[in-house]
Amino acid sequence: MAGVALRLGFAALAGAARKRLRGQEQPRAPLLSESSAERLVAALSRCRGAALKVGQLLSMADPELLSPQLQRILARLRQSAEPMPGWQSRAVLDAELGRGWREQLREFRDVPVAAASLGQVHRARLRSGADVAIKVQYPGVARSIGSDIENLLTLLSLSPGLPKGLFAGRALRALQRELELECDYGREAQNARKFRSLLSQDPFFGVPAVLPQLSSRRVLGLEWGRGWSLERCRSLSQERRDQICTELLRLCLQELFQFRFMQTDPNWANFLYDPQSHRMTLLDFGACRSFEPEFSDGYLEVIRAGAERDERRILSASRELQFLTGLESPALESLHVRAVLLLAEPFWGAQPFDFGVQGTARGVRELLPQILGGRLGPPPEPSYALHRKLGGLLLTCAHLGGRVRCRELLLRLLHPQMHPKNAPPNPGGHPKNAPPNPGGHPKNAPPNPGGHPKNPGTK
């Protein structure tokens, strides 16, 4: 990582020097050049663990920070880590499941179909003929997370100009705790079962069943999921994209305010949409967390105050939730209120809210340096994972150009008795028996049209 940082730094200095010698001025340097992005992807794909996770989060940055070319390069980090050799993955399977694990399968593919930050996925087939996905954790990756975070903290400490209100160390420590929990595939299996139960009657979302005979602390067996990743759904009709975004936002509201239990990884490969059945399979439940009623209820109050544009309630609710200490200057309080109003705009602005043309991310980005420069205390710990999920969801809706009646979704959540016909589990108002070919795709498309291999949601 140090070598990569040096190479990227020298490349940036060399580029700046060339422009200066040519008399060229560049008012705003890009976050990464294409050659630097290629170097970063190659290095992070070998690093795995926490370093690769940070790279995956970077790959989902605001589109205005990264050119389309850079986004395509960095997108490889979400599915293309360097895999283990076959002998190593088989050694993990032998150690975790016993040497007789292969006898349960008719077929096992040694070459993984996907590899990511914590493990890789193999496709297999049971004796019954059912296709399954088997996620195998990289040896030693759980032990490496602590040192990865320490290295990242060291790099941050050497980085000049970081605003004190960023509290980057606290954020990385929170990420460390989350990743260490994600290394326990037994816990992930429990999370998957819980979500499968919560969504058992949902007409749009489904969760693959866990295969206990092929699961342990470092191995996870699941039913094989089919469908397109969200990136490919951009080719669907506007109506279908609107429906997908509506359902994703509806689920997020349910997770936070009804279930109080959320899958917090916004990686687009964790959602597989089947255009033939108009259903979505949810994957990867390692990054899950519960929310205490005090936090979720307080957060709902902030959103309600923002949706009603009540500035006094925004401030009081933010103090109660500890986003503010109560000692901030009037100027900083005003910046905080403006940021909340921007983030709450989908719930008070014109309906349906058009995520494809909104400027929320740009507006927040303009306020952020001033907020971080004057913030007196770190945000509440649960907000790190929550805001990562919310940020990914908003970027997903923007990527798909979705138009969502967000205020209606919020009102259904607050007053379900007023919407008996449209209350969850079908709050999007979409017919359960939607046409089998809604996106205008060939009727004889293969059962796994996206060819997306990341079925159990690798990390």
Name the residues annotated as catalytic: 265
Residue entry with tokens 């669907």: 236
Contacts of 146-149 spanning 24+ positions with Cβ under 8 A? 146/176, 146/180, 148/47, 148/49, 148/50, 148/51, 149/50, 149/173, 149/175, 149/176
Nearest to 225 by CA among 191, 288, 270: 270
Distance CA 175, CA 149 (A): 9
Q: Give just the sign of the alpha carbon dihedral 247, 234, 283, 208.
A: positive
Could you tell me the two tokens for 282?
A: 């949810």
3-state secondary structure 214-279: HCCCCEEEEECCCCEECCHHHHCCHHHHHHHHHHHHHHHHHHHHHHCEEECCCCHHHEEEECCCCE
Give the length of the chain.
459
Give the Cα separation of 406 and 310 in Å (integer).
18
